[in-house]
Structure 1
């Protein structure tokens, strides 16, 4: 029987995913020599070279290393599920969940979901990571997240998804004193004549611009930012309009300016916040408890409803 440890596999997969022993060392808070020794022990144990070391340029996988990496990921996933399910089956439910959230919606929904869940299950540790959609998808596929919260846009068929709220229509964000802000609603044509402040994260950027291009409109993007609050502040300072889906519970920006939320008349595709997880990765018991809690939580405008999995 080959002698190896899960810790060695964890070090190895982290090196592969960061493509660098130095970066893996920073992420794991482990000295580089310890990681190098662990990988060398794996190579000696299985009598094959797993990594190609490139001087000052990181590492890459050998063909055998690629196959070994896929099997190591699966073994670590099964080990994690075993640990979490065993902890959750004890008299006092415990365990750990790692949740990813799309950065523009994370502050509005996720803290209250976690806070409420922790009151019901204080023994379950919930770790949170927010980022862009491609980062969340990579994290799901690499087993870094149990589930992720994001908008149902530009997603592939590798995940199951459940709606967390009713589809939301985009709205126009305008300075409170802007003439269009005095109207009950606006059109995309009217907005396209104004400078635009764009939320510059994928897939939001593509989605918002497509609302115009599908109608042959091309607004001038005066400013773009990946921060939803920076977008709100630029609009509040009169630098243009924006289109958003996420609706903060205040109309006041960080710097004290008032904003107007105005409905858009045009027919357009709505956007739905979803809870996503991999089809081929059965959620652990703690993750299922958190998902059940989220399904039954009211996110403000509508009660969470379970959608079809596809």
Structure 2
């Protein structure tokens, strides 16, 4: 028996799953709520199965069969994007849709400029941007939800291909403006050993920062574990401790009007590496390859987070990252 469904219905269904509800999916898709609801209901009717449990208190939850359909839908939508990209590429046209994920701390600094400059060159390209933690990005690359991801190399598995987007970056101390060491040109972690630490508690950043202290032979006094860079800076600005960050805004002002000072660290540290990643089972298409090359050519280290002149970093140890990428590029 033939079943009628559309890619549009599958996109709306996936958006509802990933957004957590119809209202959230509607905002993400910029489509009316009734249109999203009708598409999902039509999909359930076409296949004769209930994909969601709808409850007033907890919203929409996938049924077991809905979870399986969701995974199948991700793969089908991935193949549809690849089909579109390759078909357009037959006529040397750079067009189609890219599903791009970006690690949450990197996104504000890099994603807007990269997307805007690429669309200026190729206005017929649609880039769907997804922001999330590293776990979500890895899951999305494996499932086919994302074509590409801008993230840190830490935590990538051997199945994820990647190429560097930026030279290696190095962590720096973030201090309250009135901190006793704020006027120093550089610091070592040992000079801050007795201060409270405000830890950016997002994996793999949290593991990376704590490793820096372990390597320096210091047990940090973690006062707060928080999930956002701006909240870290806000707590530091109020004098509640110091932090160590790699990526941060170019301005010294926190959201609540305080000021922080960023000081280079002299410790020989493992660098942080920003990469473009994709699942190794798929070759890049003409479109995704064009976006990757564009990002490599355009992206720059902001002056405020560039390493100090003459800094020598510790090498990345074996096993700390996945193997060097042997990128599979298709034409």
How has the CA–CA distance of structure 1 residues 221 and 289 changed in structure 2, closer, same or farther, with 3 Å as cutoff?
same
How has the CA–CA distance of structure 1 residues 39 and 148 changed in structure 2, closer, same or farther, with 3 Å as cutoff?
same
Q: TM-score, normalised by structure 1?
A: 0.80
Q: Give distance in 2, aligned partners of 1:122 and 1:55.
A: 39
Look up the SS of the partner of 1:97 in the other structure: strand
Q: How does 1:268-287 map to 2 (within 5 A)?
A: 268-287=269-288
1:218-270: per-residue Cα shift (whole Å, max 9, x none)? 22222332221221222222221100011432333334433322222222211
Q: CA RMSD in A?
A: 3.4
How has the CA–CA distance of structure 1 residues 84 and 202 changed in structure 2, closer, same or farther, with 3 Å as cutoff?
same
Paired residue for 1:80? Answer: 81
How has the CA–CA distance of structure 1 residues 85 and 25 changed in structure 2, closer, same or farther, with 3 Å as cutoff?
farther
Q: Give distance in 2, aligned partners of 1:217 and 1:109.
A: 33
More deviation, 268-277/258-267: 258-267
Aligned: 1:223 with 2:224: yes
Conserved 8 A contact 1:181-1:262? yes
Q: Give distance in 2, aligned partners of 1:246 and 1:55.
A: 40
Q: CA deviation at 1:52?
A: 8.1
Q: CA deviation at 1:5?
A: 3.3
Paired residue for 1:47? Answer: none
How has the CA–CA distance of structure 1 residues 178 and 7 changed in structure 2, closer, same or farther, with 3 Å as cutoff?
same
Aligned: 1:309 with 2:325: yes
Q: CA deviation at 1:34?
A: 5.1
Conserved 8 A contact 1:16-1:61? no
In structure 1, runs of 5+ residues without a counterpart are 44-49
Q: Give distance in 2, aligned partners of 1:112 and 1:11.
A: 26
Paired residue for 1:288? Answer: 289
Q: How does 1:123-272 map to 2 (within 5 A)?
A: 123-272=124-273
Paired residue for 1:100? Answer: 101
What number of residue pairs does the alignment pair up?
A: 297
Paired residue for 1:61? Answer: 64
How has the CA–CA distance of structure 1 residues 53 and 112 changed in structure 2, closer, same or farther, with 3 Å as cutoff?
closer
How has the CA–CA distance of structure 1 residues 309 and 24 changed in structure 2, closer, same or farther, with 3 Å as cutoff?
farther
Paired residue for 2:21? Answer: 23
Paired residue for 1:41? Answer: 46
Q: Give distance in 1, aligned partners of 2:177 and 2:39.
A: 58
Q: Give distance in 2, aligned partners of 1:173 and 1:226.
A: 16
Look up the SS of the partner of 2:209 in the other structure: helix
How has the CA–CA distance of structure 1 residues 16 and 61 changed in structure 2, closer, same or farther, with 3 Å as cutoff?
farther
Q: Give distance in 2, aligned partners of 1:212 and 1:237.
A: 23
Q: CA deviation at 1:12?
A: 10
